[in-house]
Structure 1
Amino acid sequence: MNTTPPVSFGLTTPFAAALRVRTPAMKVDRDAILFSAKSFAAAMLAYYISLRIGLPKPFWAIVTVYIVSQTSAGASLSRGVYRFMGTFVGAIATVAIVPSFVNDPLLCSVVLASWIGLCLFFSLLDRTPRAYAFVLAGYTTSLIGFPSVADPGAVFDTASLRVQEISIGILCTVLVHRYVFPKPMTGQFTGKLLAILQDARRLARDALAGTPEENRYDRHQLSADLLALRGLATHLPYDPAAVTPPREALNLMHDRLARLLPLTAEIQDRINFLRIGEGDATNELTALVGEVQAWIAAGAAEDEAAAQLIAWARSLQKYLGSNPATSDERVEANLAGHLAEMIGLLADCARLGQCANSGRRPQTAISLHGSARAKGYVYHRDPWMAARAAMGAIIGILCGCAFWIWSAWPEGGMAVSILGVCCTLFGNFDAPAPFVVKYIVGTVFGVLTSLVYSFAILPQVTNFAGLVAVLAPAFLFAGSLQARPPTTFMAMGITLTIPILCGLGTHYTGDFAVSLNTVVALFVSVGFGAASMSLFQTFPSDIAINRLLRFSRRDVCRRALGDAPNEAHWMGLMIDRTALLLPKLKASGKASPDLLDDMLRYLRIGYAAGELRKRAPYAGREAGAALVELLFDVATGFGGRSAPTQAAIVDLEQRIDSLITLMAENSQKNGSRIVDLLIDLRFAFGSRGTPRGAS
């Protein structure tokens, strides 16, 4: 059998072999060069087709290729779909707005700016790659609408032509990235998934060893990794790979990894409190911990071994919890139950990982633990922050429109249209200005290159092949920059500037005065955009951090009162908030471990409080009343604008201890589970983590 892989488009095997990776650095360079070559080929193909069918501004097809192109085939297709949808909706909105309000320039400006702000608002609420469609709906209106104010009768033709030019660019991008050395998203996704599963096993192993400083970073980083994994998963339905991980398996795995994050903290607290391994704990419990460590080290993939360990842990939990003589024995029973849960989660993840790699849907009975119903990733959304950013964009655009109307600047329509693009394109950052600065640096390079092309090189070109040859160096260089995340925005400044300033149309149209006016409008608009976004669209990191923490405390209050989503939704939401908190803490320079630990503590308290609220009616009359009162006080402590005081926490801890004693004497059916949850709540408050015997 011939096992030689096929080579696309007749490219020779030696050339394919030359693309093989030797080192990680060479892989990055290889991928960047290949991406740049494919993007340039797609851009020239789109340009050629646009010229052949007589479109008046074919350079928009080139610009579209570089905006849509992504490093994987699936991401390029999904981005192309979202761009087309956004462009089409934006064009319709422009055709509806401009002719209706053109006789009142101020009102027309307000309506256009409001539409752009509304699109930005929805893009910030969506928080998935689909948000790009909202961004495009906004800045397409900006690009078409403001320049069309001077000639409103042609707005329909302009919008129609723009949709055609952009559609050609999208089509060429998708075809080239899909069929010329395609790079499937599935491979990147699978690699990330395997890395996360390895990190989860290491996190569990470190928790069993009781090493908080070693796994603190891993635990919080897992939140960011799950967010990145979700972003990659959004592109999977568009990927050309033969095997695509089923959504159900991915959602199930996310739920289990989300639960594993606080569970490892629970286990670590018990390990440190009981001083497992130092001779203070029950011998059989110490042996169980050792066996679980060995099972995890072996890969945590043997279902039979997992089932035996779970049975052992449950048996030990029942034995230790049946008639505990001391509070420490209750903690030992609680730890045994958590070990059983963690084993089940890890076994589930190993099995679900196999389903994801093979493309098989998980069976109904996949789970050794918990429910097989999947919730999946849950996004935190902040309408107030989104509205504030949208209002900032509207104010900035209206300020630009006011200057344009007041000065009667001939290039004002173009300047305001670019300003609208900046306000929407960079509006999803808390502090957009640094990214705009990178874009300006690329724009400077693009302007200088465009002037050289326009007045020194392009006048000498007499055919399309020659044009492709002279454009190749600049675009290949910019494309390689675009493939590298640190220089992506700089590359955008180059690839979006050269086609427009060079006027790559149906024939050479070099005019120094026009080019100079365009350059002035470009730098004025981008510079004003950076200043405007610094004033109106920049959010201090402290405000964003405090809002995330306040939202989390509010939801702890809601869960304690029984007015909150289920446990899977709660854990997913808190995982996302932790992932959002990580870069904000890095930007603010705050003591990130402490605030991240606060977020994890809120997750644990909210989980235990919500579960206790559901079981309160079954706790018996006296214990149930005491439990409801306790939860009400927990809600009161977390319902304010600040965290509960240390004195309030100490009081709650004392009441939890009393309630544990009362429930231990209760013969109700759910008594042992309520005791477990009360122990969880007690440890989540923090002070119970002191090892026994320590002063």
Structure 2
Amino acid sequence: MMQLETLRFPIKLTFAVVAALMIGFHFNLETPRWAVMTAAIVAGGTAFAAGGDPYSGALRYRGVLRIIGTFLGCIAALAIMIGTIRAPVVMLLLCCLWAGICVWLSSLIRVENSYALGLAGYTALIIVVTADANGALTLAPQYAVERCSEIVLGIVCAIVADMIFSPRSIKKVIDREVESLLVDHYKLLQLCVAHDDKDAVDKAWSGLVRRTTALGGMRSQLMMESARWQRVSRRLHMLNTLSLTLITQAAETFLVQNSRPDYIAPQYRLLLDREVNDVNDVRKRLKVLRRVITASSSKSLPLTLASWVGAASQYTLLMKGIQTNSRISHIEEQILQGEVVIKARSAETHHAMINGIRTFVATAAGSLFWLYSGWTSGSGCMVMLAVITALAMRMPNPLMIAKDFLYGMTVALPLGGIYFMYILPATQQSALLLSIAIGLLAFVGGIFIQRRQIGTLGALVGTLNILVLDNPMTFRVNVFLDNALGQVIGCFVALLVILLIRDKSKARTGRKLLNRFMYAAVAAMTTNQARRRENHLPALYQQLFLLLNLFPGDINKFRLALTLIIGHQRLRAAEIPVNDDLSAWHKQMRYTADRVIAARSDDKRLYYYQRLLQELEIYQQKLAQYAAPPTVTEPVHRLADILQRYQSTMIKI
């Protein structure tokens, strides 16, 4: 069974590539290699990203994004050429600028959607470069139409292959994960109540943050699969918030015990001390906890524990609906509509700007050198520059992606040479032999791609590109060598650009993220009911997940960020006295906190940060004046203390 699972994707990739090739020749497409390459990129790229055969829907979604990006790129190419066809230098530089802008914008949106914008950027450049290299700029509309039709053909072949060869549903994985996640949430609560091993708590909560984020990605994957999972998607969206709430309440339980060791009464410690093995054990413990909490007095009841049990009860109710995909009940509807979820703004604006600059500089330098030298391999070099800089920049490690392409193209040179000089000429009298030759290449490539072997995807796509699968096929060695050398040199230049234009935005992004956590905690101090209903928790944890990826192993930053998130949640629920004086002061503190984020120099940032600390001191005096309860004064004092102690971290990283 495992062998069949392993072979399913290589067979799927082979079918898609061979079908695109044969249909392209059947309809006499002039360059069927674009259809073949598209089928390989759509199917192979999705599997490489997934680390195996992708789940149902992912390939279709990527295919649709590729169609959108291709059409956008073709329209942009035609618009640029119509306006600047008499000035080739300006025309190419505008295409480079378009590619840079697309990469910049793609770095600011969701990763799964960024593919379309990246593709739109380099498609325009490919069309203009191809038309210019062939000395037929007036035929650009024809190139655009041909490229669109060939790409649509390749995508359709990849989608049909995915539908035929047993697509895998992610639904069963989600069902198992939501149960496993609840069990681990309960174990985290046990660790926090025991208040023993801080490192174990850090490891447990950071793992749960990552798994909750992954569950959100699974929800997107499920919606790609079929529209019939709409009800499940709504429940999963809320389940994500509940999972983050459970993490926050458990962590706050641990944090409060640092200053109040008797915060958790002995009877609750005894109840939570028992080991749980599966989700049924957790359900039983929740029933007991609800019964005890109902019978307890409000004075002895830990507020964080009560909040945790409430969120976990809602979690179990939604979990059942996720597993059955049943109609949403009245109680579930109340849970789903309880709060307005606020989306996170991108904190990687500087990183996005660097990505756009890298793409523009790389393609512009290549264009000017090509026009100046008349280098015959220049068009192939330009294509690879555009593709790598557009697609690699959005990845967490662009340098590794560039290396992957370089290794792959280096392998494609001898492999493509063997195919071009010996194998393909012997298959020209038989479509069956040609299909077997190309299919064998795709099958072997598929085996390595699903293992995420570095260089394999680049080798497959690069080999298909330099084979020049035109109709009719011609075998001119000089053309082959031009294409092959252009590809390799283009990959090398793209790697150099990434190395030379360094991305130093990591520290800036980290500081901005921490300041946003600070602003969220300060902004939670409000008496505006509409503002209090806004749920910033998913956005905050999304930014925390980015912080985890930027600074892996820096546990102090994670603890600080989590503490600020806890402060936000506690202040959001606090019963702040309602009066005009406090409302005006809330507005003033929000303004000052916003100035801290917006400040462009360390001096201004320090000035506004110290002013915020002074305003927090005055605010605490006002709370005492208006007899605010301890549920308000304690989290405010804790926030002021944290911001005072971590002042250097918040201002400079």
- Under a length normalisation based on structure 2, what TM-score does the superposition of the two structures give? 0.85
Equivalent residue letter for 1:228: A
1:615 partner SS: coil
CA contact (8 A) 2:239 2:315 kept: yes
The answer on 1:596 being equivalent to 2:558 is yes
CA contact (8 A) 1:419 1:525 kept: yes
Q: Deviation per CA, 1:181-209, whole angstroms, max 9, x where unpaired?
A: 22123334444444433432322222222
CA contact (8 A) 1:545 1:581 kept: yes
Residues 177 and 193 (structure 1), Cα distance of their counterparts in 2 relative to 1, 3 Å cut: farther
| Partner of residue 615, structure 1 | 576
Higher relative contact order (CA closer than 8 Å, sequence separation 6+): 2
| Partner of residue 650, structure 2 | none
Q: Which moved more, 1:231-240 or 1:642-651?
A: 642-651
Residues 311 and 443 (structure 1), Cα distance of their counterparts in 2 relative to 1, 3 Å cut: same
Residues 507 and 431 (structure 1), Cα distance of their counterparts in 2 relative to 1, 3 Å cut: same
d(CA) in 1 for partners of 2:595, 2:122: 45
| Partner of residue 434, structure 1 | 400
Equivalent residue letter for 1:250: L
CA contact (8 A) 2:256 2:263 kept: no
1:406 to 372, 378, 392: 372
Equivalent residue letter for 1:465: L
Residues 109-188 of structure 1 mapped to structure 2, 5 A cutoff? 109-149=92-132, 150-188=135-173
Q: Deviation per CA, 1:189-230, whole angstroms, max 9, x where unpaired?
A: 444444433432322222222232112022123333333332
The answer on 1:106 being equivalent to 2:114 is no
Post-superposition shift, 1:308? Answer: 6.1
Q: Which moved more, 1:193-202 or 1:229-238?
A: 193-202
| Partner of residue 198, structure 2 | 212
The answer on 1:456 being equivalent to 2:442 is no
Post-superposition shift, 1:492? Answer: 2.1
Residues 209-288 of structure 1 mapped to structure 2, 5 A cutoff? 209-210=194-195, 211-239=197-225, 246-275=232-261, 285-288=265-268
Residues 517 and 565 (structure 1), Cα distance of their counterparts in 2 relative to 1, 3 Å cut: farther
Q: Deviation per CA, 1:609-642, whole angstroms, max 9, x where unpaired?
A: 5555x83425x97xx5998699679949966756
Residues 532-547 of structure 1 mapped to structure 2, 5 A cutoff? 532-536=497-501, 538-539=503-504, 541-547=506-512
1:233 partner SS: helix
d(CA) in 2 for partners of 1:178, 1:655: 65
The answer on 1:341 being equivalent to 2:329 is no
1:674 to 632, 644, 648: 632
Residues 172 and 647 (structure 1), Cα distance of their counterparts in 2 relative to 1, 3 Å cut: closer
d(CA) in 2 for partners of 1:634, 1:367: 38
d(CA) in 1 for partners of 2:287, 2:637: 26
| Partner of residue 469, structure 2 | 504
Residues 676 and 247 (structure 1), Cα distance of their counterparts in 2 relative to 1, 3 Å cut: farther
Q: Deviation per CA, 1:550-576, whole angstroms, max 9, x where unpaired?
A: 443454455558899657542222211
2:160 partner SS: helix
CA contact (8 A) 1:117 1:138 kept: yes
2:578 partner SS: helix
2:437 to 445, 462, 470: 470
Q: Percent identity?
A: 17
Post-superposition shift, 1:341? Answer: 0.5
The answer on 1:299 being equivalent to 2:299 is no
Q: Which runs of 5+ in 2 are unaligned?
A: 47-53, 646-653
Equivalent residue letter for 2:380: M
Post-superposition shift, 1:608? Answer: 4.0
Residues 379 and 200 (structure 1), Cα distance of their counterparts in 2 relative to 1, 3 Å cut: farther
d(CA) in 2 for partners of 1:493, 1:508: 23
Residues 376 and 209 (structure 1), Cα distance of their counterparts in 2 relative to 1, 3 Å cut: farther
The answer on 1:415 being equivalent to 2:372 is no
Residues 199 and 103 (structure 1), Cα distance of their counterparts in 2 relative to 1, 3 Å cut: farther
| Partner of residue 11, structure 2 | 37
Q: Which moved more, 1:145-154 or 1:168-177?
A: 145-154
1:617 partner SS: coil
Post-superposition shift, 1:493? Answer: 0.9
d(CA) in 1 for partners of 2:554, 2:259: 25
| Partner of residue 199, structure 1 | 184
Residues 626 and 157 (structure 1), Cα distance of their counterparts in 2 relative to 1, 3 Å cut: closer
Equivalent residue letter for 2:268: L
Q: Deviation per CA, 1:135-189, whole angstroms, max 9, x where unpaired?
A: 2211211221222233211111111111111111111111111222221233344
d(CA) in 2 for partners of 1:303, 1:611: 26
Post-superposition shift, 1:102? Answer: 2.0
Equivalent residue letter for 1:254: N
Q: Which moved more, 1:452-461 or 1:557-566?
A: 557-566
Q: Deviation per CA, 1:370-426, whole angstroms, max 9, x where unpaired?
A: 963462874634334323321331122111111112212233233222211111111
d(CA) in 2 for partners of 1:652, 1:313: 38
Q: Which moved more, 1:386-395 or 1:673-682?
A: 673-682
| Partner of residue 49, structure 2 | none
Post-superposition shift, 1:580? Answer: 1.0
Q: Deviation per CA, 1:583-628, whole angstroms, max 9, x where unpaired?
A: 2213xxxx5101111211222233445555x83425x97xx59986
Q: Deviation per CA, 1:318-363, whole angstroms, max 9, x where unpaired?
A: 234xxxxxxxxxxxx5xx1111110111122222222222223543
CA contact (8 A) 2:129 2:379 kept: yes
Equivalent residue letter for 2:270: G
Equivalent residue letter for 1:176: A
Residues 633 and 263 (structure 1), Cα distance of their counterparts in 2 relative to 1, 3 Å cut: farther
Q: Which moved more, 1:35-44 or 1:601-610?
A: 601-610
Equivalent residue letter for 2:555: P
Residues 649 and 635 (structure 1), Cα distance of their counterparts in 2 relative to 1, 3 Å cut: closer
